[in-house]
């Protein structure tokens, strides 16, 4: 450990990341003054968790896997190299970037860090802007790697999906047509309304499945059709359309709006509606399958001049921490909602197309999972009255 000065120039404030801690960074150092200084500076840009040694870091990382670990080498209990080696041995941290801070300089320090599985090594003392640049470089590299893997596997994944989806579509259409024919023979009876409700549900499910596949095929190339939309009207429509589905599962849906919700936001309302619908249906499924009662899904919407922040909580069993790193990938699912397995990947793509970010927590105040959606810079000026 080297407790020398590491900050000689202020860190540049990012234009985009100031609105949400979209990146989680675990900082590990047994020098409390240095640890607090790092947490204070990095916390202006990222979501930061701290640990005083490698043993604490392992416990915290296993509870909530970080995107990046920044660790000192010389520490009691478990040192930085041992921490690095242990993390690299666990599948949950396969995509976690690790940056080692070393009091040693030169090639030997860098080689040692890389041999233990680190992605980068920075010598103390250092400037904060250099550490931030290295963190951002690791994030860009990881995202590029994930993007390439997703693009290479997308066609193969669609081929795998094709047979099961076609089977599902055929079965659904057969059932839909049979119900429609049968409904015609029972005009004027209460049974007609029940059959028509079933028909509508089947049609909605089939359409959602097909749209998820189309969006997955497009990947990040989502073309938005933005228009001004009232926040209050948007969420009222979402609540109204899902009311019967939630009532059928005896799940309470509570939507709370805060801030200037009468203003308009510039977004693709249909796509954003579908992204939030996917999150709410997953939350409903998780609540239904849980033993907690009453079953509940809570949506809190906060509108600020520069962002729309939506928080979705459910009363389900939560998410296992080891599932968090790949939760928004293809075929990952939260709850037991039937479908293509592309729902959360679709949510991520739509939100990122709006310039925003989506983040999941293993548990929230209702006992189940908590999802955050941030859409930046969406507020349009209101016309003068």
CA distances from 302 to 6, 374, 375 (A): 37, 10, 11
Q: What pLDDT is recorded for position 6?
A: 47
Q: Which of 181, 379, 347 is nearest to 280 (CA)?
A: 347
Q: What pLDDT is recorded for position 380?
A: 52
Domains observed in the chain: 17-126 (3.40.50.2300), 149-218 (1.10.287), 227-376 (3.30.565.10)
Q: What pLDDT is recorded for position 295?
A: 92
Q: What is the mean pLDDT of each run of 10 residues along the chain (385 residues)?
A: 42 38 83 90 89 91 90 89 91 87 82 88 87 87 74 64 62 67 64 65 63 61 79 89 83 90 81 89 89 91 86 92 79 51 80 88 92 76 46
Q: What pLDDT is recorded for position 267?
A: 86
CA distances from 108 to 104, 130, 251 (A): 8, 20, 59
Q: What pLDDT is recorded for position 13?
A: 37
Q: What pLDDT is recorded for position 259?
A: 85
Residue showing tokens 């951002």? 136
Q: What pLDDT is recorded for position 381?
A: 47
Q: What pLDDT is recorded for position 189?
A: 66
Whether omega before 125 lies within 30 degrees of 0, making that bond cis, reads yes
Whether omega before 294 lies within 30 degrees of 0, making that bond cis, reads yes
Q: What pLDDT is recorded for position 254?
A: 93
> What is the enclosing helix (H) or strand (E) of 228?
strand 227-230
> For residue 331, with 0-12 CB atoms within 10 Å meaning exposed, 13-18 middle and 19 or more buried, which class applies?
middle
**Alpha carbons 238 and 236: distance in angstroms, whole number:** 5
Q: What pLDDT is recorded for position 342?
A: 67
């Amino acid at each position: 450990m080297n407790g020398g000065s590491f900050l000689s120039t202020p860190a540049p404030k990012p234009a985009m990341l100031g609105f949400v801690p979209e990146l989680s960074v675990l900082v590990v150092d047994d020098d409390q003054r240095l640890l607090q200084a790092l947490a204070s500076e990095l916390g202006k840009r990222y979501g930061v968790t701290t640990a005083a040694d490698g043993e604490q870091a392992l416990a915290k990382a296993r509870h909530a896997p970080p995107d990046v670990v920044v660790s000192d080498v010389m520490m009691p209990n478990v040192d930085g190299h041992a921490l690095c080696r242990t993390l690299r041995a666990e599948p949950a941290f396969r995509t976690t970037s690790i940056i080692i801070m070393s009091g040693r300089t030169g090639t030997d320090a860098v080689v040692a860090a890389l041999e233990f599985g680190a992605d980068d090594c920075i010598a103390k003392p250092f400037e904060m802007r250099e550490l931030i640049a290295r963190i951002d470089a690791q994030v860009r590299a990881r995202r590029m790697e994930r993007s390439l893997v997703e693009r290479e596997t997308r066609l193969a994944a669609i081929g795998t999906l094709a047979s099961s989806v076609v089977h599902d579509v055929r079965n659904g259409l057969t059932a839909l047509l049979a119900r429609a024919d049968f409904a015609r023979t029972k005009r004027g009876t209460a049974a007609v309304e029940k059959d028509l409700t079933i028909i509508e549900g089947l049609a909605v499910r089939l359409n959602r499945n097909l749209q998820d596949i189309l969006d997955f095929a497009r990947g990040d190339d989502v073309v938005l059709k933005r228009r001004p939309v009232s926040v209050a009207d948007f969420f009222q429509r979402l609540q109204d359309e899902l009311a019967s589905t939630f009532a059928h599962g005896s799940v309470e849906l509570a939507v709370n709006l805060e801030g200037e919700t009468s203003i308009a936001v510039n977004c693709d309302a249909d796509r954003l509606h579908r992204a939030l619908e996917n999150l709410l249906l997953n939350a409903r499924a998780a609540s239904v399958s849980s033993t907690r009662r009453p079953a509940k899904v809570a949506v809190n919407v906060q509108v600020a001049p520069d962002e729309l922040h939506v928080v979705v909580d459910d009363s389900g069993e939560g998410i296992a921490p080891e599932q968090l790193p790949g939760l928004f990938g293809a075929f990952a699912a939260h709850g037991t909602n039937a479908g293509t397995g592309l729902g959360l990947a679709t949510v991520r793509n739509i939100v990122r197309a709006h310039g925003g970010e989506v983040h999941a927590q293993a548990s929230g105040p209702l006992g189940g999972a908590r999802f955050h959606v941030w859409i930046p810079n969406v507020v349009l000026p209101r016309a003068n009255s």
